[in-house]
Amino acid sequence: MARNYRNNKNKIKSSTFILLIVLVLFIIFIFSVRWFRGSKSIKESNVDSIINILKPDPISQAVISGAIDTESSEAILYMDGSDIGLAKRGTKDKKYFLEIKSVLPEINREEYFYEVWLLSQLPYKYISIGEMVTNDDGEFVIEWGAEDVDDNYSTYAKVVITLQKYNGSTDPQNHIVVGEFGK
């Protein structure tokens, strides 16, 4: 009987010890959660305009300007790794102009058309030049000129031709041809 009493006493001691450890861990858990959820001071800075954030600093602009040849007057147009046309740009009557000739696959002209886009990498912008037409040789062509003498599109170094669906989205759709001035 004394033996059972000692076993019971040891079981009570070990149970009390385990209960004490669980209680201490629970208290630590509560304080940890309270500390984690506690208000932390966050330093906020107000920005007058998002434009100030999106503008590159002068050093980055100089590096990018040096890396992109904006004065090159020709770009080879590629489709699936093969060159299929040429884009030329320059000035006519002191206004920016762009001329493109390309041998593109025939399409159902009642549903689709080829549209030319100019892209600027920094800041990222794109503009539609217009719909391509075919010349007497069956090439798809477009000639485009800036409306004003002050319009400068020399930072638009990439040319993309997309296959657009009539009555579809006005944004660029299926990229078919890509070319880049200065490459």
pLDDT in tens, 137-173: 889 999 998 888 888 888 888 999 999 998 877 878 7
According to the model, what pLDDT value does residue 132 have? 94
Sheet holding 74-79, edge to edge: 125-131, 112-120, 158-165, 174-180, 74-79, 82-92, 95-102, 140-145, 133-134
Greater pLDDT, 107 or 11: 107
According to the model, what pLDDT value does residue 128 have? 92
69 pLDDT band, cuts 50/70/90, is: very low
Which CATH entry fits the domain spanning 69-180: 2.60.120.560, 2.40.170.20, 2.40.70.10, 2.60.40.200? 2.60.40.200
Residue 97 has pLDDT above 60, yes or no: yes
According to the model, what pLDDT value does residue 8 have? 67
According to the model, what pLDDT value does residue 99 have? 93
According to the model, what pLDDT value does residue 130 have? 93
Which residue reads 């884009």 in tokens? Answer: 87
Residue 85 has pLDDT above 70, yes or no: yes
Percent over 90 (pLDDT), the chain: 32
Average pLDDT over residues 11-25: 87
3-state secondary structure 116-183: EEEEECCCCEEEEEEECEECCCCCEEEEEECCCCCCCCCCCCEEEEEEEECCCCCCCCEEEEEEECCC
Residue 10 has pLDDT above 80, yes or no: no
According to the model, what pLDDT value does residue 70 have? 46
Average pLDDT over residues 68-78: 69
According to the model, what pLDDT value does residue 30 have? 92
Residue 107 has pLDDT above 80, yes or no: yes
